[in-house]
Amino acid sequence: MTVVAPATVDAASCVRISGGRFDAPGNDASNLNGEYVKIKNYCSTRASIAGWKLHDHGKKNTYTFRTGASINPGVTVTVYSGKGTQTSTKKYWGHSSGEIWNNTPLERAYLRNTAGTLKSSWPAASAAPPPASPACDPNYSGYCVPVVSYDLDCPDIGHRVYVIGVDIHGFDGDGDGVGCESY
């Protein structure tokens, strides 16, 4: 089955992380290419990812896609932690010692475009609703967005929401009243 984006969708918006492996077989530090992240182009057209960045939780490690980097329709690019020969579908972070992904529940891979806008993260936020406490933010409906003292992003909640008040987290980028539309 081929996934085709609607004509009104920006081609870059359907480039996202499709999976990966943070815990390499054996010792992560000695099997760096056993750690990887897969990025797929779900669009029907070629998408430029030149200057896009892939990073870990806390931005301790960042990989930047080189000038001219792009992904053909339906194609997956794998970014390995270690060293190797770069191809159109295999990219190498270039680490020679020490793993990138720390295998903890907080670890997540983030993909950002050249403007720094988060385009995708993996693994996806849990599908389970957040606990009853803290209270739900009254500015959103359709899912309980917790009231927190920090900014949330769509991957943090992992659900579509409807903005019925002030969009304090910026979930509704196009102003149509629906936030986190990719969920």
Residue 86: pLDDT band (50, 70, 90) is: very high
Say which CATH number the domain at 112 has.
2.60.40.1260
CA 99 to chain centre: 19
One-character DSSP codes across 66-86: PTT-EE-TT-EEEEESS----
pTM exceeds cut of 0.75: no
pLDDT, tens digit, for every residue of 142-151?
Answer: 888 888 878 8
Q: Which residue has the higher pLDDT, 3 or 74?
A: 74
- Give the residue from 122, 142, 168 where a domain finishes: 122
Domain assignment present for residue 55? The answer is yes
- pLDDT at position 129: 41
Task: Kindly state the tokens that stand for 110.
Answer: 């983030």
Range 8-23 average pLDDT: 71
Q: What angle do CA 36, 119, 34 make, to 5 degrees?
A: 0
Range 103-122 average pLDDT: 86
Whether residue 125 has pLDDT greater than 60: no
| 148 and 171 share one domain | yes
Residue-number span of the structural domain to which 62 is assigned? 11-122
What total number of domains does the chain contain?
Answer: 2
Residue 93 near residue 64 (C-beta atoms within 8 A): no
Q: How far apart are CA 6 and CA 43, in angstroms?
A: 9
Range 164-168 average pLDDT: 83
| 64 and 135 share one domain | no
pLDDT, tens digit, for every residue of 31-52?
Answer: 999 999 999 998 889 999 999 9
pLDDT, tens digit, for every residue of 126-139?
Answer: 434 444 445 788 88
| 16 and 66 share one domain | yes
Residue 15: pLDDT band (50, 70, 90) is: very high
- pLDDT at position 162: 83
